[in-house]
Amino acid sequence: MQLVFASNNKNKIKEIQQLLPESISILSLEDIGCDVDIPETADTIEGNAILKANYVTENYGYNCFADDSGLEVEALNGAPGVYSARFAGSQRNDNDNINKVLELLENETNRKANFKTVIALNLEGKQHLFTGIVNGEIIKEPRGTNGFGYDPIFIADGFSDTFAQISLEEKAKVSHRGKAVALLTSFLKK
């Protein structure tokens, strides 16, 4: 089976392809000739995943899936949430985003947070949603060089290392994206 994954984020594509069974191969937006930066104008993570999946289906006719993810920090009332990628500005810089979260939490004792991924799958004219959440906390300074986004400052419950300190394989077993993709995979196998 071949599905379009509505992304050109090479890190995300690599991570998701590793999580899917070999019988499912994914095409990127680039692979289908889509060079549009699909607008993410919804005010929820679910909404953005749906927007991206619908854009590909409506404009290119492919079965596809799209995801959106966000970091939700309890002390920041769920921020950055849907604005995670551009929290510190439209330049979408991981280090700037991390620094902004750390600054906002500087004097905060409640450092609880979660990562959330929602996958919207458009398959044979029907839409299905899959959600993965991993709870944890924000540490005071970045650690590790693996992963991307907020991985260097997030430690999942039950772990002592950040997502940026563990291997992609280890992260895939416990991450929000890993959980959402596992739900997607079991659905596709049926």
Is 150 flagged in the annotation as binding? yes
Is 9 flagged in the annotation as binding? yes
Is 140 flagged in the annotation as binding? no
Is 176 flagged in the annotation as binding? yes
Q: How many CB atoms lie within 10 A of CB 105?
A: 19
Is 37 flagged in the annotation as binding? no
Quick one: tokens of 133?
């959440």
d(CA 112, CA 101): 12
Is 68 flagged in the annotation as binding? yes
Q: Which residues are catalytic?
A: 68
Q: How many CB atoms lie within 10 A of CB 95?
A: 10
Is 107 flagged in the annotation as binding? no
Is 11 flagged in the annotation as binding? yes
Contact between 60 and 34 under an 8 Å Cβ cutoff? The reply is yes
Is 114 flagged in the annotation as binding? no
Q: What are phi and psi of 31, to 5 degrees?
A: -60, -30
Is 149 flagged in the annotation as binding? yes
> Alpha helix (H) ranges present in the chain?
10-19, 45-60, 94-104, 168-174, 176-189
Distant-in-sequence, close-in-space partners of 100: CB < 8 Å, separation ≥ 6: 80, 87, 88
Give the bridge partners for 71, in sequence order. Answer: 115
Coil, helix or strand for 172?
A: helix
Is 187 flagged in the annotation as binding? no
The strands making up 25-27's β-sheet, listed across from edge to edge, are 25-27, 2-5, 64-73, 112-123, 126-138, 154-156
Binding-site residues sit at 7-12, 68-69, 148-151, 171, 176-177
Binding-site residues for substrate sit at 7-12, 69, 148-151, 171, 176-177
